[in-house]
Amino acid sequence: MDWTPLILTFKLALITTLILLLIAIPLGAWLAFSKSKSKPFLETLISMPLVLPPTVLGFYFLITFSPNSWLGGLLNDWFDIKLVFSFPGLVIASVIYSLPFMVHPVQSGLSSLPSSLREASIVMGKSKRTTLFKVLLPNIKPSLLTGFVLTFAHTVGEFGVVLMIGGNIPGKTKVASIAIYDEVEALNYGNANQYSLILFAITFTILLLVYVVNRKEIKRWWK
């Protein structure tokens, strides 16, 4: 059996999750505390991947970044960056596609904290940054863990977006979900079964771990 699709899958999931963590913390904090009028608009935009077929996202991504388009051509000619049918393109599409899975837990975690925690820190003269990193984030660890794992698992489970913009290039964009589809098409049910079983076992273990850890965390919290 070829292990590269599985390794590629987990590499993609890990990189996507780490990038999203960096993006989702400031974004989630803004959404949790801002009273701006543009907030519902941004919230809607972030939630779109939840309801949109992945092929829609993949289609627009393809149109926007193909070398024949304005932006894709610019990136290709000036910076020698090819986002379509490449791993970096896959990462960017995955980040957009999994955005709600990271932003929502961070946002709801932060909004569920009593506002007095934040205000107490501000009156003490702490900056917004110190307040976020020293006071708020340490108290929403279960939410951060949930976001981390949901994003990871969701990226592992991607199919439509990857197929649309990544194609099926071995070692570059051929992730496990695509490999399974490929093997089934070629009637290699044995190989498909191996990939599927491994994916099933690993994702099951990750999710189980989270539920067990979060339960302990919550118990410790309320003791």
Binding site for another protein (CB under 8 A): 114, 116-117, 119-126, 134-135, 138-139, 221-223
CB of 25 to another protein, least distance (A): 16
CB of 111 to another protein, least distance (A): 16
- For another protein, the closer of residues 123 and 187 by Cβ is 123
Left, alpha or beta for 170 (phi > 0: left; psi -120 to 50: alpha)? beta
- For another protein, the closer of residues 122 and 206 by Cβ is 122
CB of 145 to another protein, least distance (A): 15
Which DSSP symbol is given to 83? -
- For another protein, the closer of residues 129 and 169 by Cβ is 129
- For another protein, the closer of residues 66 and 139 by Cβ is 139
CB of 121 to another protein, least distance (A): 8
CA distance 211 to 22: 23
Count the helices and strands in the chain (H runs, E runs).
11, 0
Task: Residue count of the chain, please give it.
Answer: 223
3-state DSSP: the chain helix, strand, coil percent, rounded to 5?
80, 0, 20
| Tokens encoding 147 | 């976001």
